[in-house]
Structure 1
């Protein structure tokens, strides 16, 4: 019986992970969290039970992290299981500490749930932060998504975790309150009005998806093939009103920016519009940059913006000396040197469209970078998800982009190298999309933005204050119970 009980944390961790995209089984994830939290709270060693729960969860939810190591399998495939194991155990340790603290210091399943909420907030911001595969993300593909405009990802996570903790308490009143918490985001999502449709005279933007697999993207025999394919897509006859701007994905320019004088006019002529395109360049200090460029109708450079949130182990090494000593470098670095980050987020005026905010690939997972004031009309997301395979990673990245739209009340125009390119409205609903692994274009009428959302005003402070208050209250209550037990005569 004890051995069977020991299987509950890892099995429920796996089931909770199935709430993440592409599975999106939120109805399975919610009871899995309740069962897992109950098992941790009742375990003799809650640290180890929570580690098993968390490690199993992250092993499945982040299985896509092995894909970049398979792009050049002869050199790096051996690192794939090490990377997955390290990430799973590393993030699992966050949950292990939460399990111990929740069970030993806060008391009971609700204490474990509160502690898990706190460490997931910490994980989202600590060092560079990695707000991926959060508990609240299991609701992205559900009718609860619009509720993110009020509460954000961590607010949705509060409903998931606190509801699970109350239900795991096995008391009728607490269970009813937990179920109400699970239903609350769905009720709020249903009560919020839908995002307005694009106006008849809304500007139309063309999104280009050239579909360049990562293992061929920089092969000299294929670079020209993918570039010509993109030019043909940009020049194709419109399926409705003429586009006013054209968006290519991340790193789509086939030459370094400083050597692109011949190809930039080709890009502009094919589109016949201003163009936003991903590129790579060296700055004045010979540091490589992952860059977005705005080209005018002649192909001249109007704006250069550098990616400011770089991918750990992809574009930079967190502990560079240690990893380089064993011969490991950033997987996405083609240029000599190490990518340098840009200055930070910007909003710029895209001719014919208005103010827009560019996000390059990984930057779309961070809600704190969306501006509170001087709001853009839309978010432009340029990405190359070919690094992350054709299943789990790209679908999760797309889901997080939808979450950014719902949180901010801003539409998103997403140009992805291999997919999914998409038009997303201000409630996070996908209006049109190109599937993974296909070449094509979308002519997207820009959906309107909503007014600033409550989440944009409070960000994650609301979730932090509520979790801190609950943790303090539970700690005080647990200490009082402990004192009362010691004072009780034998």
Structure 2
């Protein structure tokens, strides 16, 4: 191990960049659908050793050294995001004639931009880089802060955060409810990077012992939570419809009636198990038209519903401008329709996808002929705020449309009983994207301590309990109606905490420890 570490430490130039890139690419195997987290015990020690080697270039001055350090993190991030997010380009090929030109920007440009955050992580870590245990803590702190920045800046994009590598199964997900995803990110990097001390540095015994202890507590706490009895207050019978409409034909006017007929047919089929559904759920933008333009469609949905049933679906909602000459605004909404065929509620998506649902700097981009990838009616406007959707007089849900569910700490309404996630992952076909999206939704359920109901156009649809266990689900490209009995716990969660805040506090604590160890190391050396 020491010989390997020495070789990596002494790398420079393009060889160092290549090794960093390959280490980042290898780490992708820790994410869904592969879930092979042991690769991180290779990737992160390599990153530590590469950063160890960057300290030898003192003759170049501080700025030059930090450029080198940033470059190591950037190449690591480029490998990680390039191989982890290549499937985003598939969305551009749905309408290849209009968007194929942007394929390099999505497949290469986005990973290159996200890699900046890992470059920042390494600069933060290397600014307080004591020998031994301290540098492992510094790296954990750097990545914890960088992942927080990635989830926050420029509307945020925390997809495939490192912490998900430490949560491949429900047993290993429970800690996220205590320290939040931001805390898990930092603690996971500490554990993954700890073996680096076997190749270089001091404090081997205490570093490895701390990593083993953290991993044991992580797994042990999960086992304790999953073994604890849960008392349920209410049940809700749900039918989740997965129509598997091909994305290429979804907005074809000739298919509108066919899509509506498919959804109604699947929704009205006899119940195969349990009670008749009280709630029927269709996916995001289930219908390729405005409901207000099709009163016949509303009437058909009302006729389909039995007395007391509620239909919740994703739909485009329009709203006329309040001032003269103001354009019509469109919203990506969660809409509730009762058994009379009347719209009884509509909650708009708050966190829109940049370049997917709206154009940042819209006037500038439209002048050169650009439009959003998912634009069908002129681009979406964001909803004003989140609020609960009353499913029954006693049960409320928090709607999260599509990628809203990937943001840690955003499920925050105290009065809700479950998370309702409507999405359309047909844009990405049978690639790692839908699996990664489902995993992040699964973790949100654990983080919030709430069960999750998910309807996706072509999968993965299903129900997840508050501990992240999949109650039932449909795989990708299955067409059908999934009947599930949702169990709603008496208490929403086993511990009452604010994971988002606790995660940030965890990172700050690690930062204080790392800086303290750095100061002590320098005092001892003088």
Return the TM-score normalized by structure 2: 0.86
The match for 1:417 is 457
CA distance in 2: counterparts of 1:380 and 1:411, whole angstroms = 9
SS in 2 for 1:370: coil
The match for 2:514 is 474
**1:138 and 2:179 aligned:** no
Residue 264 of structure 1 deviates from its aligned partner by 1.0
Residue 410 of structure 1 deviates from its aligned partner by 0.8
CA change 1:181–1:174 in 2 (3 A) is same
**1:218 and 2:251 aligned:** yes
CA change 1:450–1:282 in 2 (3 A) is same
Residue 454 of structure 1 deviates from its aligned partner by 7.0
CA distance in 2: counterparts of 1:449 and 1:198, whole angstroms = 6
SS in 2 for 1:21: coil
CA distance in 1: counterparts of 2:421 and 2:212, whole angstroms = 36
CA distance in 1: counterparts of 2:256 and 2:229, whole angstroms = 40
SS in 1 for 2:489: coil
| Aligned mate of 1:232, from 257, 265, 279 | 265
CA change 1:203–1:279 in 2 (3 A) is same
CA distance in 1: counterparts of 2:182 and 2:512, whole angstroms = 19
**1:256 and 2:290 aligned:** yes
| Aligned mate of 2:89, from 66, 72, 96 | 66
The match for 1:271 is 305
SS in 1 for 2:497: helix
**1:26 and 2:40 aligned:** no
CA distance in 2: counterparts of 1:324 and 1:484, whole angstroms = 60
CA change 1:169–1:40 in 2 (3 A) is same
Residue 197 of structure 1 deviates from its aligned partner by 7.7
- Given that 2:419 and 2:451 are in contact with CA atoms closer than 8 Å, whether structure 1 keeps it comes out as yes
SS in 2 for 1:236: coil
CA distance in 2: counterparts of 1:455 and 1:30, whole angstroms = 31
| Aligned mate of 2:218, from 176, 185, 210 | 185
Report 1:5-154 matches (<5 A). Answer: 5-44=16-55, 45-107=68-130, 108-142=135-169, 143-154=171-182
- Given that 1:38 and 1:169 are in contact with CA atoms closer than 8 Å, whether structure 2 keeps it comes out as no
Report 1:454-465 matches (<5 A). Answer: 457-465=497-505
SS in 2 for 1:146: coil
- Given that 2:77 and 2:115 are in contact with CA atoms closer than 8 Å, whether structure 1 keeps it comes out as yes
CA distance in 2: counterparts of 1:334 and 1:205, whole angstroms = 30
Which range moved further: 125-134 or 434-443? 125-134
Residue 199 of structure 1 deviates from its aligned partner by 6.7
Which range moved further: 271-280 or 50-59? 271-280
Residue 166 of structure 1 deviates from its aligned partner by 3.4
The match for 1:290 is 332
Q: Give CA deviations for 1:299-323 in whole Å, capped at 9, x if unaligned.
A: 1111111111101110112233443
- Given that 1:408 and 1:455 are in contact with CA atoms closer than 8 Å, whether structure 2 keeps it comes out as no
CA change 1:454–1:201 in 2 (3 A) is closer
The match for 1:174 is 207
- Given that 1:41 and 1:109 are in contact with CA atoms closer than 8 Å, whether structure 2 keeps it comes out as no
- Given that 1:384 and 1:418 are in contact with CA atoms closer than 8 Å, whether structure 2 keeps it comes out as yes
- Given that 2:144 and 2:183 are in contact with CA atoms closer than 8 Å, whether structure 1 keeps it comes out as no
State the Cα RMSD in Å.
Answer: 2.3
The match for 2:383 is 342
- Given that 1:198 and 1:447 are in contact with CA atoms closer than 8 Å, whether structure 2 keeps it comes out as no
Q: Give CA deviations for 1:454-486 in whole Å, capped at 9, x if unaligned.
A: 77622222232232233234334434544665x
- Given that 2:249 and 2:255 are in contact with CA atoms closer than 8 Å, whether structure 1 keeps it comes out as yes
CA change 1:217–1:312 in 2 (3 A) is same
CA distance in 2: counterparts of 1:119 and 1:130, whole angstroms = 12
The match for 2:356 is 314
Q: Give CA deviations for 1:66-111 in whole Å, capped at 9, x if unaligned.
A: 1211111122123122222111111111111221231133443432
The match for 1:429 is 469
The match for 2:480 is 440
- Given that 1:12 and 1:35 are in contact with CA atoms closer than 8 Å, whether structure 2 keeps it comes out as yes
CA distance in 2: counterparts of 1:474 and 1:202, whole angstroms = 48
- Given that 1:148 and 1:455 are in contact with CA atoms closer than 8 Å, whether structure 2 keeps it comes out as no
Residue 325 of structure 1 deviates from its aligned partner by 4.0
- Given that 1:16 and 1:57 are in contact with CA atoms closer than 8 Å, whether structure 2 keeps it comes out as yes
Q: Give CA deviations for 1:91-150 in whole Å, capped at 9, x if unaligned.
A: 111111221231133443432221111111111122312221111111332330122222
Specify every segment of 5 or more residues in structure 1 that has no aligned partner in the other structure, as ranges.
none
Q: Give CA deviations for 1:418-441 in whole Å, capped at 9, x if unaligned.
A: 111101111011111111112101
CA distance in 1: counterparts of 2:21 and 2:212, whole angstroms = 24
CA distance in 1: counterparts of 2:385 and 2:344, whole angstroms = 18
**1:243 and 2:277 aligned:** yes
**1:360 and 2:360 aligned:** no
- Given that 2:423 and 2:456 are in contact with CA atoms closer than 8 Å, whether structure 1 keeps it comes out as yes
CA distance in 2: counterparts of 1:60 and 1:441, whole angstroms = 34
| Aligned mate of 2:438, from 398, 413, 417 | 398
CA distance in 1: counterparts of 2:388 and 2:40, whole angstroms = 37
The match for 2:201 is none
SS in 2 for 1:358: strand
CA distance in 2: counterparts of 1:452 and 1:204, whole angstroms = 19
Matched positions, count? 484
SS in 2 for 1:414: strand
CA change 1:191–1:454 in 2 (3 A) is closer
Which range moved further: 131-140 or 457-466? 457-466
The match for 1:380 is 420
